[in-house]
Amino acid sequence: MSKTKTDHNDFADDRDLYSGLIRLHVLHHAVQEPIFGLGMVEELARHGYRISPGTLYPLLHGLEEKGYLRAVELRNGKSRRKVYRATPLGRSALRAAGGKVRELFRELMEGK
């Protein structure tokens, strides 16, 4: 039986639709500054994407494996934190995706 739900506020239901947007969002921030897992979970929550660390970490690893992100371990006294930065490949992939997003945005928002 198909769902007749028309209210799509439930992010979990539509996660597949957003997965690319989330990756682009992560990449965008990794171009701006070093990012770390929990900080990114909070940042995405701010934008209405409820994503758990258990989902985000594999996503970060995936972007790293693709060569879009590079992980660096930072030490602060005894604590260590793994941060990610965009690689040159990640930057150029984001630039290319930006053109596509702009096009989609125009169609969605301006009906062009």
Decide if 77 contacts 56 (C-beta within 8 A): no
Q: By C-beta, is 24 or 71 nearer to Zn ion?
A: 24
CA distance 106 to 57: 32
Burial (CB count within 10 angstroms: exposed 0-12, middle 13-18, buried 19+), residue 83: middle
Total residues at interface with Zn ion (CB under 5 A): 1
| Contacting range for Zn ion; rule: CB under 5 A; set: 7-15, 38-46, 62-70, 76-84 | 38-46
In the region spanning residues 47 to 106, those forming contacts with Zn ion, defined by CB under 5 A, are none
Helix axes 15-32, 53-65, angle to 10 degrees: 60
| Contacting range for Zn ion; rule: CB under 5 A; set: 35-43, 50-58, 62-70, 97-105 | 35-43
Q: By C-beta, is 45 or 72 nearer to Zn ion?
A: 45
| Minimum gap (Å) between residue 100 Cβ and Zn ion | 18
Q: Which residue is nearest to Zn ion (CB)?
A: 43
CA distance 112 to 104: 9
Q: How many CB atoms lie within 10 A of CB 26?
A: 25
| Contacting range for Zn ion; rule: CB under 5 A; set: 10-18, 42-50, 68-76, 87-95 | 42-50
Residues near Zn ion, by CB under 5 A: 43
